[in-house]
Amino acid sequence: MVFALARRSVISNTISKRLAISARTYSEGDVGSGSQAFNKREKAEEDLYVREHEQEQLKKLRDSLAQIKEQTSQLESQIKNIEKK
């Protein structure tokens, strides 16, 4: 029981600290400058950057989750060893 509460607490605290949601924002540019093609290309480049950034964040979160699972399994084995004694 105590272990389950501790596990939930560790997982939720770690994930909530590392989870950051980015909002997509687009620059409007100067009024009357550039063509529509330039604006589309700029928007596409911004989308690509955001997508790559989000992929990096997801990779970090997955790595973090793997570490947490490893720590959790170690704690579970330690608890089982203590309960056997």
Give pTM, 2 decimals: 0.51
pLDDT single digits (tens) 43-83: 999 999 999 999 999 999 999 999 999 999 999 999 999 99
Measuring CA to CA, which residue among 5, 15, 7, 16 is closest to residue 75?
Answer: 7
Which has more confidence, 13 or 2?
Answer: 13
- Of all residues in the chain, what percent carry a pLDDT higher than 70? 60
> Helix H segments across 1-85?
2-18, 36-84
Tokens at 49, concatenated: 């950057």
pLDDT at 35: 87
Provide the residue ranges of all domains of the chain, joining segments of one domain with +: 37-61
Average pLDDT of the chain to the nearest whole number: 80
